[in-house]
Structure 1
Amino acid sequence: MSKIFSFGFWNSIARVILRNRLVIIAIIIGITIFLASQWQNMRFSYTEANLLPDDHEINITYNNFLDKFGEEGNIIVLAINDSTLFTPEKFAAWNKLSEKLQTYPEIENVISLGNLKKLKKFDDPKRFEMVPLLKKGKLDSTQVAGYKDEIFNKLPFYDNLVYSNNTNTVQTALYIKEEIVNSKERKIFVIEELRPLIEQFEVDNNINVYVSGMPYIRTLNSQNIIDEIGLFIGGALLVTSLIFFFFFRSVRATLISMVTVLIGVMWAFGVIGLLHYEITVLTALIPPLIIVIGVPNCIFLINKYQQEIKNHGNQAKSLQRVITKVGNATLLTNLTTASGFATFILTDSKLLKEFGIVASINIIAIFILSLVIIPIIYSYMSLPKDKHLKHLNKKWIGGFVDWVERMVRDHRIAIYIGSISLLALSIIGIYTIKVSGSLLEDMPQQADFFKDIEFFEEEFNGVMPLEILIDTKKPKGALKLSTLKKMENLENIIVDIPELSSPLSVVRLAKYSKQAYYNGNPKYYQLPTSQEQNFIAPYLKGISSEGNLLNAYVDTTGQYARMTTFMKDIGTEEMERIEAGLWPQINKIFPPDRFDISLTGKALIFQKGTTYLVKNLIISLSLAILLIALLMAWMFRSFRMILISLIPNLLPLIVTAGMMGFIGVPIKPSTILVFSIAFGISVDDTIHFLAKYRQELKANNWKIKRSVYAALRETTVSMFYTSIVLFFGFSVFMISSFGGTVALGGLVSATLLFAMLANLLLLPSLLLSLEKSIANKKILKEPSMQIIVNEDDVLPEEENELK
């Protein structure tokens, strides 16, 4: 009954498609127009990927920090390391640039050489005031030199904030308004206003300006993602069309395939817009993925059509049989591929969940498009010419088939030894894999902005803020001298950590107040004593009314204080080492019963998110294996066949993981995707082979060897074609400037190549070696559905119905 139902179902589908061609074309055009209208809802991501669930403790801590102090990643820094800056002309030009930047509505505040203020003591009435350090008007060389001397030698408050005392590098800090930090306006300002202004300054003054800061980095990084979407789509179309044409030697077939996958790409963008998802570094991969995955569908369908035409020359019968005989197998292979992506939906990461939803929906969509468009287009065209069918008898592919068959027949022991050796070597490599939670590692390392990042890491120990939130549990507790001394002790510990910069906190202001009290003498830049604090207290009232100097590091209640340090681009393991060493000292300085201390910041969240994803990787991959195993159990109804089929698909994953360890590719958000994607795609070859193998068993009266070799000769060509397309298609991602995308493309390509060889060599070898235990009617039962339709199943009275 299952066989009749399966055949009858697909025969009905074929009848519906070929009898309602114009209606179906109209429906496809209508859906395409509708989804194209949804493109306007696509949004590009303007913030870092948050890999953790919203209710995760790390995110709760971060949001608590934002409630107290607002956005922490809103600073863009401009730096110059040039001795000629302190000449009158260039010094004036630098100050003019800062004044110009202050006029932009997107800028909240600018701290630069030209507008620095110093804390000055006044006695009538007693107060401190921030007075301009630089007098207005044109300065001569002596005045500029004196100004430089005062900043570098008399104002330690600005050390590592405005200047680096070690190298005489100076920087200007631009504070972006919080409301535009994570919006499109930030991108417009950076791309259209800030960059041209700085480039013009560099040309006019022959000075190199280094630019960095998280808003700037995020903007240029997201722009690179946008630029690369078109590059990936174009590259995927070019590579797959060339390979397709090489195999089929038919412009017509190539164009039909490209039209099909291009519609799939339009639908992919439309689904992203319809669901109001952001274009991230992951969702940007989906359109080219649809091309790479969709082309093998076209290969199966067109190849079958041409085979049928060659056999009997009847177009109507050929088109019907394309749908009827290939429909099941193509549906199942697309389902397994979609399953590999769909497992990401079950994770708690919003980023991965959205990627999984869009990818799985569009993989099924490209299957439907291929199954419908290709037969309909061919139904309106003339029969393929003899030159278009020559590829069916190519000698070189026949030589490859012969080599595969010879290896399986005569060298099974060598195949097993090679597989076991690869397995053992890969397990060794797996133990050397590292986890990387670097926020910057995947960014384009040849880009100018990345080189600027390296400059700031060298000069100021990084640009990624790491925030320490101190809860004193008492109002005004953050301003007590005892608390300030504790904070100073912690700052001294942080200064000794080479990966972290000198912290910024209220301690600096307290030290500066003492220096100002002693008329600016830099040797008094230190925390006041209890007695000095009483003398200084009357002067401090003016600072609070001066603006946000104090409020930037202490909340309005005085209970919470922040300490901001900047970290280098370090990985998860390095950060965990730093935290492990830091926390015992934090708890010693700030007793947990009297203080609550939290470490937070976007860079730290990203690192914690990477660790979280690694744990989810095991769950995601396990679910993919379980889901596909259940699907194969339903198809083949044999537990032993499930085990045999999983071996050649798990081995490539282990080999790839071992290769990552040996070549130093870490586990990170981008490479985490490799395993589920590759497994979902590679199992397609197994389904094709086992389906054909079971069909041959029945045709050959359960004779194992004859059935294995017949299945091998029948499926090797299609496996080879599709694997080559997938290999080169995923290799397109290696042209990316993003390290993670390059690794994803290379690793998936390598895994699929291993998987093809495993399915062509190891799988049939296992079937032959275990023939007595698996190949009998009791073990290999009638399948729940017929995957490949036999020639005899096509009913004669229906063959010519659609002529």
Structure 2
Amino acid sequence: MIKWINTRFWSSVARLILRNRIAILLLITGITVFLGMQWENMRFSYTEANLLPDNHPVNVEYNKFLDIFGEEGNLIILGVKDSSLFTPENFNAWNRLSKRFNAKPEVDAVISTENLKKLIKDEESQSFVLENLVTGELKTQEEVDEIKNELFNNLPFYESLLFNDEQTIRTAVYLDKEIVNTLTRKNFIYGEVLPLIEKFEEETGLDLRVSGMPYIRTLNSQNIVDEISLFIGAALLITSLIFFFFFRSFRATVISMVVVIIGVMWAFGILGLLHYEITVLTALIPPLIIVIGIPNCIFFINKYQQEIKKHGNQAKSLQRVISKIGNATLMTNVTTAAGFATFIITESKLLKEFGIVASINIIAIFILSLLIIPIIYSYMALPKQKHLNHLNKRWIGGFVNWMENTVRHHRVAVYITSVSLLVLSIIGIYQIRISGSLIEDMPQGADFFKDIRFFEEEFDGIMPLEILIDTKRKNGVTKLSTLKRMDKFEELIIETPELSKPMSIVSLAKYSRQAYFGGLAKNYTLPTSNENNWILAYAGKSKSDTNLLKSFVDSTGRYARITTFMKDIGTDKMERIEENLQNKIDNTFKDKYDVTVTGKALVFLKGTKYLVDNLVMSLSLAIFLISLFMAYLFRSFRMILVSLVPNLLPLLITAGMMGFLGVPIKPSTILVFSIAFGISVDDTIHFLAKYRQELRSNHWKIRKSVYAALRETGVSMFYTSIVLFFGFSVFMISSFGGTVALGGLVSATLLFAMLANLLLLPSLLLSLERSIANKRVLKEPNFRILPEKENRKLSELTKKDTSD
């Protein structure tokens, strides 16, 4: 900030605002209308949150895989675990459901019992042909039993894809890859998939389970959309109720609501203007603006009413509100914005967009508060006595007296409590775990989440993990040596309980041998060298559908994929699995092949670890930026250290709570520290700014200044902290676990921060007054009390006075 932001500057700002009230209101209206027009550019994200930078090696490998095999997350899975499915009526209904899906233009392919193909050796043409397992409607129970026996006993190729050992049946619906990350996917899920599922359940009475990444992403995204309005409504309700409880004034409450509602409109408009997608993070910004904007209103309105109570002069009151509170509130909003802006330095697009929009809107809500509140009050009559009664409430006075008594007589107890909490927090920090689960934060009460758990239990997971194999030569995949290496590698996947049975060209090769030797399940093994030549000869003459082969091998035969599905596991387990897989790759494929482990699940897990690695950097930057603000305000290195202590301690306490409560570090909870630090330091600035003013007024009498600052700022700090506490608690009504944790942890941190700033900070100032808070250290305060001679009428302030 620059040095001319002082009393003279803010006095000029006050005159400018009060003399141009109508022009400013018209300007705000124009900006609001313009940003409202940008709402049409808002769009919701149709892809998973990619937390890694585009140039990160994990992203590079994943994009290479997509270039070769296309979008991997295009599979919707339907499943039934019920013996009554194997009756003619229900089994026919199950097959009809597959036909209905296959008829949709949005569907690329369906693999089900209805169109399941058996690979048959044709002696006459010396080739393989595909025959349908089911031909037409089944009329008798014997026909159904025959199909069932054939499926479970003679077709191991389809195990894990269409059935499991528990005789759970499922259908694989592959969407057109072009629509997977578009609005068409959402329309298809809600317009076609859900009605077809409902109709099937009505016809059969069976419980049809549905999962797969396109389905999960669509329903999860809709939950995010639904919760935006829920959060905004709840935040407005709870903050307005608390505000009214404190001020007992309808007009003060309405004015505050007008400010934050315009702020929310601007937030949506800025999202649209920048063409940013609404994600699980940016969806939090509108309610955040409400929660952060209300404390601004509290400081402005509380100061206005205090001034009115002192002297009853509206003009001087409004000018002092802008001049005295404007400067301090600017600093607090800048520090809060800085806490969010630290996310901009990360190379994660998701966090960068969140940081940009949040920091812009925090400054915007400050500007709106600074302009709207004084202007509206300038057109109103002076507050009545009943509107000022809250300033004299006994319980508030009792709270202030308790704080002062604690600081005056029980500083040792404050220090012992602080150190004890610090020690406990350090113990808890060592118990924190890191989670990179893709589904952990999803609403666990939702039906689709229960279906995720169902498929995890029945088929060992639904999150795809891919192994890309580059043989470095054309048709290298079909070499028997390659198939044997892949088969050996797949043994490790089968032995890993967190991974499902793999699917690859190896399974197709085994199925070919089974078909060649009469279709017996015992022949489902890789061919020998001699057998491979005969089988390849048959395969070369086959004119059967090659969709399955295309799914596992690229058109040149150079690249192969092994697809497995992973359970919902944490980062620690995933790192162990990845290490085991890499060791097996090194031992099996040597240097003859390039083998890469990739897939959506791995990308997300790596993204979580990337964020954790960058947490210290972003938080350190936030501390550095806020230290610069402190340096400007107080021009004392020792004062900076003292002011940081009551803000870092709450963060450590919160981290300790996460360890003791089992709340992991993950993309949602990782935001807690930067957000809470940026907001909690506001109280420190307000307190120290007032303390600096009192020092000059009281001729550098330390103790008198500390107690005066505590009495003056304690009420506003208490009000704002309570609003912030309950405001962030709104997020705890979310169905998303990460949002619940974010709301609870930030609320707790801000509560601890309030107590630290009202008890620990004054105690430190008093205990260290000789070395820190003396005239030599604090000789140039940047906050000054306005001269009492500023006592002009409102009509004089609002006139154009060229003599100024």
TM range (shorter): over 0.9
AA of the residue aligned to 2:632: W
Task: Give CA-to-partner distance per residue, 1:88-136, whole Å, 9 cap, x none.
Answer: 0111111111111111111111111111111111133221111211122
**8 Å CA contact 1:471, 1:559 repeated in 2:** yes
* Structure 2 residue 773 is matched with structure 1 residue 792: no
AA of the residue aligned to 2:517: Y
The within-5 A match list for 1:123-134 is: 123-134=123-134
Report how far residue 317 of structure 1 moved.
2.3
**8 Å CA contact 2:117, 2:133 repeated in 1:** yes
The within-5 A match list for 1:218-233 is: 218-233=217-232
AA of the residue aligned to 1:740: G
Question: Which residue of structure 1 aligns with residue 427 of structure 2?
Answer: 428
**8 Å CA contact 2:61, 2:598 repeated in 1:** yes
What is the alpha-carbon distance in structure 1 between the residues aligned to residue 541 and residue 111 of structure 2? 20
Report how far residue 519 of structure 1 moved.
2.0
AA of the residue aligned to 1:631: F
What is the alpha-carbon distance in structure 1 between the residues aligned to residue 720 and residue 643 of structure 2? 19
Question: Which residue of structure 2 aligns with residue 388 of structure 1?
Answer: 387
What is the alpha-carbon distance in structure 2 between the residues aligned to residue 147 and residue 22 of structure 1? 80
**8 Å CA contact 1:80, 1:209 repeated in 2:** yes
Q: Secondary structure at the match of 1:30?
A: helix
Task: Give CA-to-partner distance per residue, 1:459-515, whole Å, 9 cap, x none.
Answer: 000000000001111211111111111111111111111000000000010000011
AA of the residue aligned to 1:704: I
* Structure 2 residue 480 is matched with structure 1 residue 485: no
AA of the residue aligned to 2:617: I
The within-5 A match list for 1:242-257 is: 242-257=241-256
What is the alpha-carbon distance in structure 2 between the residues aligned to residue 319 and residue 663 of structure 1? 47
The within-5 A match list for 1:367-766 is: 367-542=366-541, 546-591=545-590, 593-766=591-764
What is the alpha-carbon distance in structure 2 between the residues aligned to residue 543 and residue 70 of structure 1? 26
Task: Give the share of equivalent positions with the same residue, in percent.
Answer: 69
What is the alpha-carbon distance in structure 2 between the residues aligned to residue 760 and residue 77 of structure 1? 56
Residue 801 of structure 1: which of 792, 796, 799 is its match?
Answer: 796
What is the alpha-carbon distance in structure 1 between the residues aligned to residue 102 and residue 398 of structure 2? 71
Q: Secondary structure at the match of 2:114?
A: helix
**8 Å CA contact 1:543, 1:549 repeated in 2:** no
Question: Which residue of structure 2 aligns with residue 203 of structure 1?
Answer: 202
Report how far residue 199 of structure 1 moved.
1.4
Report how far residue 802 of structure 1 moved.
2.1
What is the alpha-carbon distance in structure 2 between the residues aligned to residue 706 and residue 385 of structure 1? 32
**8 Å CA contact 1:320, 1:799 repeated in 2:** no
What is the alpha-carbon distance in structure 2 between the residues aligned to residue 381 and residue 107 of structure 1? 63
**8 Å CA contact 1:261, 1:295 repeated in 2:** yes
Report how far residue 378 of structure 1 moved.
1.3
Question: Which residue of structure 2 aligns with residue 9 of structure 1?
Answer: 9
Q: 5+ unaligned residues in a row in structure 2: which ranges? A: 799-804
What is the alpha-carbon distance in structure 1 between the residues aligned to residue 541 and residue 449 of structure 2? 41
**8 Å CA contact 1:404, 1:761 repeated in 2:** yes
AA of the residue aligned to 1:293: I
What is the alpha-carbon distance in structure 1 between the residues aligned to residue 203 and residue 566 of structure 2? 33
Report how far residue 781 of structure 1 moved.
2.5
What is the alpha-carbon distance in structure 2 between the residues aligned to residue 497 and residue 641 of structure 1? 56
What is the alpha-carbon distance in structure 1 between the residues aligned to residue 526 and residue 519 of structure 2? 14
Q: Secondary structure at the match of 1:216?
A: helix
Question: Which residue of structure 1 aligns with residue 802 of structure 2?
Answer: none
AA of the residue aligned to 2:796: E
Q: Secondary structure at the match of 1:479?
A: coil
What is the alpha-carbon distance in structure 2 between the residues aligned to residue 137 and residue 240 of structure 1? 62
What is the alpha-carbon distance in structure 2 between the residues aligned to residue 663 and residue 4 of structure 1? 48
Q: Secondary structure at the match of 1:114?
A: coil
Question: Which residue of structure 2 aligns with residue 366 of structure 1?
Answer: 365
AA of the residue aligned to 2:609: T
* Structure 2 residue 155 is matched with structure 1 residue 155: yes
Question: Which residue of structure 1 aligns with residue 277 of structure 2?
Answer: 278
**Cα 1:370–1:128, aligned 2, differ >3 Å: closer, same or farther?**
same
Per mean C-alpha deviation after superposition, the further-off stretch among 657-666 and 697-706 is 697-706
Question: Which residue of structure 2 aligns with residue 333 of structure 1?
Answer: 332
Backbone CA RMSD of aligned residues: 1.3
Question: Which residue of structure 2 aligns with residue 269 of structure 1?
Answer: 268
**8 Å CA contact 2:138, 2:144 repeated in 1:** no
What is the alpha-carbon distance in structure 1 between the residues aligned to residue 780 and residue 359 of structure 2? 29
Q: How many residues align?
A: 797
Per mean C-alpha deviation after superposition, the further-off stretch among 790-799 and 521-530 is 790-799
Q: Secondary structure at the match of 1:557?
A: coil
Q: Secondary structure at the match of 1:149?
A: helix
Question: Which residue of structure 2 aligns with residue 356 of structure 1?
Answer: 355
Report how far residue 617 of structure 1 moved.
0.7
What is the alpha-carbon distance in structure 1 between the residues aligned to residue 735 and residue 191 of structure 2? 22
Task: Give CA-to-partner distance per residue, 1:758-791, whole Å, 9 cap, x none.
Answer: 00110010011111111222211303x32xx414
Per mean C-alpha deviation after superposition, the further-off stretch among 244-253 and 128-137 is 128-137
**Cα 1:336–1:542, aligned 2, differ >3 Å: closer, same or farther?**
farther
Question: Which residue of structure 2 aligns with residue 94 of structure 1?
Answer: 94
AA of the residue aligned to 1:49: A
AA of the residue aligned to 2:615: L
**8 Å CA contact 1:473, 1:595 repeated in 2:** yes
**Cα 1:544–1:42, aligned 2, differ >3 Å: closer, same or farther?**
farther
What is the alpha-carbon distance in structure 2 between the residues aligned to residue 4 and residue 336 of structure 1? 19
What is the alpha-carbon distance in structure 2 between the residues aligned to residue 421 and residue 636 of structure 1? 30
Report how far residue 137 of structure 1 moved.
3.5
Q: Secondary structure at the match of 1:286?
A: helix
What is the alpha-carbon distance in structure 2 between the residues aligned to residue 138 and residue 676 of structure 1? 63
**8 Å CA contact 1:652, 1:751 repeated in 2:** yes
**8 Å CA contact 1:685, 1:759 repeated in 2:** yes
What is the alpha-carbon distance in structure 2 between the residues aligned to residue 795 and residue 382 of structure 1? 20
Task: Give CA-to-partner distance per residue, 1:733-776, whole Å, 9 cap, x none.
Answer: 00000000000000000000000000011001001111111122
AA of the residue aligned to 1:224: N
What is the alpha-carbon distance in structure 1 between the residues aligned to residue 776 and residue 95 of structure 2? 87
Task: Give CA-to-partner distance per residue, 1:279-335, whole Å, 9 cap, x none.
Answer: 000000000000000000000111111112222222222222211221101111000
Question: Which residue of structure 2 aligns with residue 317 of structure 1?
Answer: 316
Question: Which residue of structure 2 aligns with residue 172 of structure 1?
Answer: 171
**Cα 1:713–1:619, aligned 2, differ >3 Å: closer, same or farther?**
same
Q: Secondary structure at the match of 2:596?
A: strand
**8 Å CA contact 1:638, 1:781 repeated in 2:** no
AA of the residue aligned to 1:88: P
AA of the residue aligned to 1:142: E
**8 Å CA contact 2:316, 2:790 repeated in 1:** no
**8 Å CA contact 2:314, 2:794 repeated in 1:** no
Task: Tell me the TM-score normalized by structure 1.
Answer: 0.98
Q: Secondary structure at the match of 1:519?
A: coil
Question: Which residue of structure 2 aligns with residue 108 of structure 1?
Answer: 108
Q: 5+ unaligned residues in a row in structure 1: which ranges? A: none
**8 Å CA contact 1:543, 1:550 repeated in 2:** no
What is the alpha-carbon distance in structure 2 between the residues aligned to residue 624 and residue 5 of structure 1? 23
**Cα 1:798–1:616, aligned 2, differ >3 Å: closer, same or farther?**
farther
Report how far residue 383 of structure 1 moved.
1.8
What is the alpha-carbon distance in structure 1 between the residues aligned to residue 441 and residue 90 of structure 2? 36
Task: Tell me the TM-score normalized by structure 2.
Answer: 0.98
